[in-house]
Structure 1
Amino acid sequence: MQNQKTIITVTGYKGGVGKSTTAVHLGTFFGSRFRTLLVDADPNRTAVSWSKRGSLPFQVADERQAFKLINEAELVIIDTPARPDSDDLKELAKGCDLLILPTKPDIVSLEPMLEMVKDLGDANYRTLLTVVPPYPSKEGETLQKELSEGGIPVFKTMVRRTVGFERAAMAGVSVRDVDNRFKSAWDDYVSLGNEILELLNK
């Protein structure tokens, strides 16, 4: 990554699936390794607002401010608007090294995501199961297996549901810096970050 810029895009077909949460926590993971910029292109400006409430260990900017900062970044994470149309989705996929599609393990979230992947072809993308009910629920594992068997690229890592993420957003920090009780939530994103490094051969 030192010699070329790596771009990771996080997008989704509906709200409430952990899109901005994923962008912020990947920024935290990669921010300790690379000069990281999170570009908040979502009209809701969730990531920008998150950063203004506290302190994050990487730069956050909206797409207008990002032009001044992007040349210095080694790794760029783009938090897109929700519900991109098929043409936008194809362009997003072409313009990044990895496209991440967060989805909750329920049919309301899953169906729009499956519609999205029809347009992606052989693009480098992975689905990410988020807001997964904790043990003893098997919803996450069941859906992960079904997606994989159906030929849909899916991360091995799943992000479990916890109030820690809401508290992190309110405090303007990552869940890593909220409370030791939420260590497992941060561990999920450490696992995801390492999986991405391996996937991109970094």
Structure 2
Amino acid sequence: MLIVTFTGYKGGVGKSTSAIHLATFLSKYGNVLLVDGDPNRTSISWASRGHLPFDVADERKAAKAIPGRDWLVIDTPARPNSDDLKELADGCDLMILPTIPDINSLEPMIDTSKALKNVSFRALITMAPPHPNKDGEQMQQDMQASDVPVFESIIRRSTAFAKAALAGVPIRELKGKSRLPWLDYEQMGKEVLEILR
């Protein structure tokens, strides 16, 4: 079983949404369990409104649901301290740290990266404004210049995420342009597979 953990130094950066969509992508490659450890229980609420292509379990009930899984995706609470980050990293094969493209997010990500030396992790830029805006690409370049490991994929901002959450489905189930952000998560999922190989 391979374990991917999502965490972040602040809320509202697409952590739970990204966990749901990576779990959706990985469901093509085996049996996936998403463990919802976020106090808001976003993943559990999302699943309760519709249907996701994987199982979701509350962290307190996960032990019974884990056996036989190929993939475990863990959505943790936001704002872990340095010791918690190291413990989380030791308990997974890859840690993903979603962040939004703004200067107030860059400095904490650089500090977090320093605290995670010798750990398998990647920053994921989420909620990037659409083109021609270049904030996402600029944030990516700034992180690379600061030696922060960052995904090549950038997740675009879209009102379609709210539609998908309301329907209780992954964004890939939507129609037309609403489905476009799924392409970003598909690309990110391919990167995850490469990293874990």
- The aligned residue for residue 188 of structure 2 is 192
Q: For 2:122 and 2:63, locate their aligned partners in 1 and report how far apart those are by CA, in whole Å.
A: 27
Unpaired runs of 5+ in structure 1?
none
Q: For 1:68 and 1:32, locate their aligned partners in 2 and report how far apart those are by CA, in whole Å.
A: 23
Percent of paired sites with the same residue: 53
Kindly tell me the number of residue pairs found equivalent between the two proteins. Answer: 197
Following TM superposition, by how much is the alpha carbon of 1:135 offset from its aligned partner in structure 2, in angstroms?
0.4
Are 2:173 and 2:179, in contact at CA under 8 Å, matched by a contact in 1? no
Higher strand content, 1 or 2: 2
2:123 aligned to 127, 143, 147, which one?
A: 127
Deviations 1:91-118 (A, max 9, x none): 0011100000000001223333223222
- The aligned residue for residue 173 of structure 1 is 169
Deviations 1:2-58 (A, max 9, x none): xxx100000001111000000000011011221000000011101111100110000
The letter for the 2-side match of 1:129 is I
Deviations 1:125-173 (A, max 9, x none): 0000000011001111111112112111000000000001111111111
Question: Which has the higher mean CA deviation after the structures are superposed, 122-131 or 179-188?
Answer: 179-188
- The aligned residue for residue 156 of structure 1 is 152
The letter for the 2-side match of 1:118 is K
Q: For 2:12 and 2:84, locate their aligned partners in 1 and report how far apart those are by CA, in whole Å.
A: 20
Q: Is 1:102 matched with 2:98?
A: yes
1:142 aligned to 138, 156, 163, which one?
A: 138
- The aligned residue for residue 64 of structure 1 is 60
4+ residue segments displaced more than 3 Å: none
- The aligned residue for residue 75 of structure 1 is 71
Are 2:110 and 2:146, in contact at CA under 8 Å, matched by a contact in 1? no
Q: For 1:134 and 1:152, locate their aligned partners in 2 and report how far apart those are by CA, in whole Å.
A: 23
Q: For 1:110 and 1:23, locate their aligned partners in 2 and report how far apart those are by CA, in whole Å.
A: 21
Following TM superposition, by how much is the alpha carbon of 1:182 offset from its aligned partner in structure 2, in angstroms?
2.0
